[in-house]
Amino acid sequence: MIRTACTSLLALAISAPVHAQSTPTQQAERSKEDDFHVNREIVVTAPYFERLDLLAGTSAIAGEELAEKARGQIADILISLPGVSATSFSPGASRPVLRGYQGSRVAVLTDGIGNIDASNTSADHAVTIDSLTAERIEVLRGAAVLLFGGQAVGGAVNVIDKRIPRNIPTEHLHIDALLGYATAADDFSGGVSADFKLDGRLVAHIDGSYRNSRDLRSGGFILSPLLRAEAAQVAEEARGGGNAEAAQEAESLTGLRGGIPNSAVETWTFSSGVAFIDGNSSLGVSFNIYDTNYGVPARPGLALAGEGEEGEAPVSIDLRQYRFDLRGNLDLGEGFFEKLNLRAGYADYEHTEFEGSEIGTRFLSQGFEGRLELLQNDKNGWKGASGVQYQYRDFEAIGAEAFVPPNITNQIGIFSLQELKFGQFEFELAGRVDFASLTASSLNEDVDFTNFSGALGVAYTQSDLKLGVNISRTGRAPSAEELFSNGPHIATQAFEIGDPDLRSERSWNGEIYARYEDDNFALRATVYTNRFDNFIFEVETGEEEDGLPVFQFIQDDANVWGFELEASAELGFIAGFDVGVDGVADYTRAQISDDGGNIPRIPPLRLLGGLELKSGSLDLRGEIEYSADQNDVTIFETPTDGFIFVNASATWRPFGRDQNIALIGTANNIFDVEGRRAASFTKDFVPLAGRDFRLTARFSF
């Protein structure tokens, strides 16, 4: 999806500076705001991070900013944050890309454990997390994130919801609601949640959401320049062969604009939960249904190019997940250990890929994940968290396009992270060992992996400046798709072949960062590098199977490096508004070693700048995003043209900032330009949204 106009970006990651020349009344109003704009301390709620200072980078989106950015897929909410992009396969399926990594190298979590779906199996599979009822979304990066496992080498996205209540509300009933409409897809959406205080220690929760959007309207052409050139060539050949009808149809593709065919989405969710809360101890459970039906846009004109059958039915995905969650914590007092945390979830997932009204392929998955961790009390500057994690997945694909055989994955990890402070120095030490077993009985394959990971972070603080270095060594077991694939994968337009002899992917990771903050200015800069042994990727073999090019998973060494930069400044108090500017820049370069070429689908240089005016009842913002050309591509990947989006937003609080009622209007991609995400498999025929006007109403009472 497109960039959205947003409220202060940097404030979420490194806290907002004190507003220059603000009146005491305005400062008091801001102190009541329930999002991260006024909170100088980042509150990270992933269980084993909630008491650690996190030498690594952390960003978050909450409150009015989350309401304004709400989209059907969480990746499209996060793209304003440094180092974050999206796969943007379609409006119904988009997964986060962190520092150029996607799929199995990025952990997507619900309240600290996996979302237990099939989104990492294929780019056309939706992430089963609803943004309309989310409370906060966190992006975690750096060395400490290895506690999520080797798959989090790129980082982790953690979505916090209220489905298992954490606190006893002050009132007997509390309701939050979000309603929205957007023009680019004629998108109606709404979500509501309610918390009930049943007695002094028992709290119940219920929520639901609904979203209905039609085909997304793009800015500029639907087809990329390369596909338009191919269509023009087909038209010329058809005309030369005397096929006027085919020539006319191919010519129409060269000027195709407007709605992206078969990109509509309909999603609904329902959740309920209850928790017993006794002081700092609690135990709660929840049940959730996530149901979505969305179109999978096809590359137009395949039949004209001789690559498909004319009149092929549109493909859609009907997906449903049932999920049960448990969360408990036990207060252990003032001894060495402070708290015992338990987090577990079970999900029954199924989606069916339809070709018109005919069933094509069914994907079935049952999974469980559980974590148990002990948090240490802060003893003379020493604190930490240690625990064990278990994951299980039973996956099966049934149908002609079942490119992965039935398989079972078992993983267990043991981890510890310790943090020490000595004066102006902070030290963070983490270790983890993972045992993974993957079985595909139909292939008589049963493979096991053991991976050891470790991380060390050192930081020095002097007044408003903090400097740090993080170094880690991580290991990732190959996924079932990388090991066992052997079939047509229509989402990627490839016949994919795995390799059961793949070894664990290992990497040395380093980052250097600097953070500066005073009353009117804040800056965060990070430079990172990853050096891989046995990096797993696909290469085109030059062969063809089932009318598709054959791609084989192989391994080689690889190097990845990049930077993230974000800054904000308060310019003063002018005409009743606090005036501020902010900016973000990020870049990733990824190559296979020994002249092996570029790693595919890497986001290019991105720059973002914004000007913001804030008062107690009205906030105004304008921003410009520049995405550069991406020409560092593989031989089977097309380049991506750059684009510039101009966005604006206004937030009005009719009863003041502290009343939790806000009307938010946004204008995205104001000049209706054509934009494509380099990380997308479908970028050549699924561009980003064109001009989009949004109106959102947020209520809390």
To which residue do tokens 């960003």 refer? 59
Strands in 102-201 per DSSP E = 106-110, 113-114, 134-140, 155-161, 173-182, 187-197
* Confidence label for 27 from pLDDT (cuts 50, 70 and 90): very low
- Among 13-27, 52-66, 188-202, 244-258, which stretch is predicted with the lowest mean pLDDT? 13-27
H or E, element range at 49: none
Residue 81 sits at the vertex; the CA angle it makes with 79 and 84, to the nearest 5 degrees, is 55
Gap between the Cα atoms of 619 and 612, Å rounded? 7
For CA atoms 324, 75, 210, 657, the dihedral sign is positive
Arithmetic mean of pLDDT, 605-612: 96
Cα–chain-centroid distance for residue 208?
A: 21
| Residue 532 to residue 555: CA distance in whole angstroms | 10
In contact, 280 and 331? CB cutoff 8 Å: yes
- Please tell me the distance from the alpha carbon of residue 187 to that of residue 209, in angstroms, as a whole number: 13
Q: Report the alpha-carbon distance of residue 427 to residue 416 in Å, rounded.
A: 14
In angstroms, rounded to a whole number, what is the distance separating the alpha carbons of residues 604 and 100?
A: 9
Look at residue 468 and tell me whether its pLDDT is greater than 60.
Answer: yes
User: What pLDDT is recorded for position 56?
Assistant: 53
> Which of 233-237, 255-259, 345-349: highest mean pLDDT?
345-349
Angstrom distance (rounded) from CA 233 to CA 305: 9
Cα separation of 445 and 607, whole Å?
Answer: 47
Predicted local distance difference test score (pLDDT) of residue 298: 84
Rg of the chain, C-alpha, whole Å: 25
CA dist 138 to 74, 679, 690, Å?
A: 11, 21, 27
DSSP string over 608-620: EEEEEEE-SSEEE
Helix H, strand E, coil C: the string for 583-605 is EEEEEEEEEECCCCEECCCCCCC
pLDDT digits (tens, 9 = 90+) for 152-198: 788 889 998 889 999 888 888 999 999 999 999 999 999 999 999 99
Q: Is 501 helix (H, G, I), strand (E, B) or coil?
A: coil
**Identity of the residue numbered 528:** Y
Give the side-chain half-sphere CA count within 13 A for 29: 18
Pick the CATH number of 10-222+260-700 from 2.60.40.10, 1.10.10.10, 2.40.170.20, 3.40.50.720: 2.40.170.20
CA-based nearest residue to 284, from 341, 333, 331: 341
pLDDT of the residue at 72: 86
Q: How confident is the model at residue 143 (pLDDT cuts 50, 70, 90)?
A: low
Which H or E run includes 14? helix 10-14
pTM here is 0.88
**How do strand 445-462 and strand 465-476 relate by DSSP bridges?**
antiparallel
- Joined together, the tokens standing for residue 12 give 């979420």
Assign 126 to helix, strand or coil.
Answer: coil
The CA distances from residue 42 to 28, 36, 65, 664, in Å, are 20, 8, 15, 24
Residues contacting 311, CB < 8 A, separation 6+: 303
pLDDT in tens, 485-519: 998 887 778 899 999 999 999 999 999 999 999 98
Structure tokens at 175: 């309701």
Q: Given pLDDT bands bounded at 50, 70 and 90, which one contains residue 441?
A: very high
The CA distance from 41 to 328, in Å, is 25
Only one residue has tokens 């991976």, namely 451
Tracing tokens 């793209």 back to the chain, one arrives at 79
* Mean pLDDT confidence for 619-628: 96
pLDDT for position 31:
35
- Residue 231 and residue 301 in contact, taking contact as beta carbons nearer than 8 Å: yes
pLDDT score recorded for residue 36: 26
Q: Residue 41 — pLDDT band, cuts 50, 70, 90?
A: very low
Q: What is the rounded average pLDDT of the residues 398-414?
A: 91
pLDDT of residue 67: 86
Integer Cα distance of 636 and 638 in angstroms: 7
> What local confidence, expressed as pLDDT, does residue 450 receive?
96
Running DSSP on this structure, what letter comes out for residue 527? E
Q: Is 356 left (phi over 0), alpha (psi -120 to 50) or beta?
A: left
Which residue has 């391994």 as its token pair? 555
Tens digit of each residue's pLDDT (9 = 90 or more) over 556-581: 999 999 999 999 999 999 988 999 99
Contact partners, residue 38, CB within 8 Å, separation at least 6: 16, 30, 31
- What pLDDT digit, counting tens, does each position of 520-537 carry? 999 999 999 999 999 999
**Which residues are CB-neighbours of 392 under 8 A, at least 6 positions away?**
367, 368, 369, 408, 409, 410, 411
3-state secondary structure 218-232: EEEECCCHHHHHHHH
- Measured from the Cβ of residue 340, the count of other Cβ atoms closer than 10 Å reads 16
Lowest mean pLDDT of 108-117, 527-536, 582-591, name the range: 108-117
DSSP code of residue 312? P
Report the pLDDT averaged over residues 79-100: 93
> How many CB atoms within 10 Å of residue 631?
12
At 54, list the tokens.
Answer: 């996190």
The answer on pLDDT for 369 being more than 60 is: yes
Helix, strand, coil proportions of the chain in percent (round to 5)?
10, 55, 35
Helix (H) or strand (E) holding 246: helix 244-254
Q: Which residues contact 18 (CB under 8 A, 6 or more apart)?
A: 519, 520, 570
Q: State the pLDDT at residue 101.
A: 93
Class of residue 139 by CB neighbours under 10 A (exposed 0-12, middle 13-18, buried 19+): buried
- State the Cα–Cα distance between residues 378 and 533, nearest whole angstrom: 37
Q: What is the dihedral of CA 418, 109, 282, 701, to 10 degrees?
A: 120
**What pLDDT does residue 301 have?**
59
d(CA 475, CA 450): 9
Opening angle at CA 345, ends 292 and 265, nearest 5: 10
Strand order in the sheet with 106-110: 58-62, 134-140, 155-161, 106-110, 113-114
CA-based max dimension of the chain: 86
Mean of pLDDT over the chain: 86
- Quick one: pLDDT at residue 652? 93
* Higher per-residue pLDDT: 242 or 178: 178
Taking the CA atoms of 211, 213, 218 and 222 in sequence, report the sign of the dihedral they define: positive
The Cα 470–Cα 528 span in angstroms is: 9
* Residues written for the chain: 701
